[in-house]
Amino acid sequence: MTDIVDASTRSRMMSGIRAKNTKPEILIRSLLHRNGFRFRLHVNNLPGKPDIVLTRYHAVIFVHGCFWHGHECPLFKWPGTRPDFWREKIGRNRTNDHKAREALLVAGWRVGIVWECALRGAGKNIDSVAQRLSEWLRNNAQLLEVVG
Ligand SMILES: [Zn+2]
């Protein structure tokens, strides 16, 4: 079985340090920027510290790594070691994600979640992700989830 992550990502995962400014996130930012959207980053005073905040559209966007956020998709695989540690950690991340999303919706924010698997791997259509985000930002839907 081949690893889905490179060596440095793997060592960061194993050390339990969560990445900021991950590649999928940078990709989403540049897609938004190219489509004329302006935004703020890592807003600490909102639930869940959303990666991207578009005040004008009353929208926040999370770019979720499938490993860290326990996505049920082909990119997710339980590490072979320290099963209890990872189950606890990823379980907690999922619980926090859920709470943050509910709190944001209750506060009137619109919440977009782009999963890493929508962006990574063969045959992924990045432009269609950009288009879905653009359309969502301009309509009034409360929730958008983009998966691979
Ligand atoms: Zn995924």
The ranges of the chain with pLDDT < 50 are 1-2
In which domain, by residue range, is 30 found? Answer: 7-146
Q: What is the pLDDT of residue 1?
A: 37
1 occurs within a structural domain: no
Ligand 1 mean position to 119 CA, how many Å? 9
Q: Are 84 and 135 in contact (CB under 8 A)?
A: no
CB atoms within 10 A of CB 102: 13
CATH number at residue 95: 3.40.960.10
Ligand 1 mean position to 146 CA, how many Å? 9
Ligand 1 mean position to 128 CA, how many Å? 17
**Cα–Cα distance between 125 and 127 in angstroms, integer?**
5
Ligand 1 mean position to 122 CA, how many Å? 14
Residue showing tokens 């907690």 = 92
Q: What is the pLDDT of residue 6?
A: 60
71 occurs within a structural domain: yes
Geometric angle at alpha carbon 90, from 87 and 92, rounded to 5°: 100
126 occurs within a structural domain: yes
2 occurs within a structural domain: no
No. of helices (H) and no. of strands (E), the chain:
4, 5
Ligand 1 mean position to 74 CA, how many Å? 7
Ligand 1 mean position to 22 CA, how many Å? 15
Helices (H), 21-78: 23-34
Identity of the residue numbered 84: D
Ligand 1 mean position to 70 CA, how many Å? 8
- Say how many domains are in the chain: 1
The contacts of residue 132 (CB under 8 Å, 6+ apart) are 144, 146
